[in-house]
Amino acid sequence: GESVGLHLPTLSVQEGDNSIINCAYSNSASDYFIWYKQESGKGPQFIIDIRSNMDKRQGQRVTVLLNKTVKHLSLQIAATQPGDSAVYFCAEKGRDDKIIFGKGTRLHILP
Amino acid sequence: EAQVTQNPRYLITVTGKKLTVTCSQNMNHEYMSWYRQDPGLGLRQIYYSMNVEVTDKGDVPEGYKVSRKEKRNFPLILESPSPNQTSLYFCASSFGGRGTDTQYFGPGTRLTVL
């Protein structure tokens, strides 16, 4: 069945370093992927998305990479800041419009 | 301000007592959706709606009902709540359900069923 998973439940990164959060998906028919950030006590917030016809997309300090061959998605955050501390979710949208979220990775920023 | 609002934000109730969690968006979005978030399970979609009077089951619809009589509102109804429905609930909306439409999430409703 469909599943979207993250490789690590928590990730600790030194402030100023780059963060890489990984995600694996199993549905090869999914055509759209999204990364969300959820801060404590708040709802998920859109960060960046990518369609299946792309392999890289860049935003402000964030880059998403999509490797369809191995069904892997990653979120890279450049120069990690204290405000980046949150839980990060990847999500996929299949052609039936259902959205499936991964379980999340908690990003800790070390001073 | 563009936003998705949910009410109530916190609710403690007892088994079997019908309740409704309201969701409203002011962005004229066509697509709305309900999720529940549980530790270790992440976000799971309960129901979604592509437009007025059009609703579909998500991955965990059992025990829930929804309605979409107006574009801006998408209430979640628990006819007979049970303790396994204790969870954090999020409503979300987007302009469309297809393509690259960003979902905007509400602040969440924490429900406890005793």
- Is A46–B44 a contact, with Cβ atoms under 8 angstroms apart? no
Q: How confident is the model at residue A2 (pLDDT cuts 50, 70, 90)?
A: very low
Among B9, B43, B89, the strongest candidate for a mutation testing the A interface, having the largest count of A CBs within 10 A, is B43
Asked if B106 reaches chain A (Cβ–Cβ under 8 Å), the answer is yes
- Percentage of chain B beyond pLDDT 70 is 96
Taking only the tens place, the pLDDT of each residue in A37-94 is 999 989 999 999 999 999 999 999 999 999 999 999 999 999 999 999 999 999 988 7
Q: How confident is the model at residue B97 (pLDDT cuts 50, 70, 90)?
A: low
Compute the distance between CA of residue A106 and CA of residue A103 in angstroms, rounded to an integer: 10
Residues 6+ apart with CB under 8 A from B35: A101, B43, B44, B45, B46, B58, B89, B90, B91, B92
CA-based Rg of chain A, rounded to a whole angstrom? 13
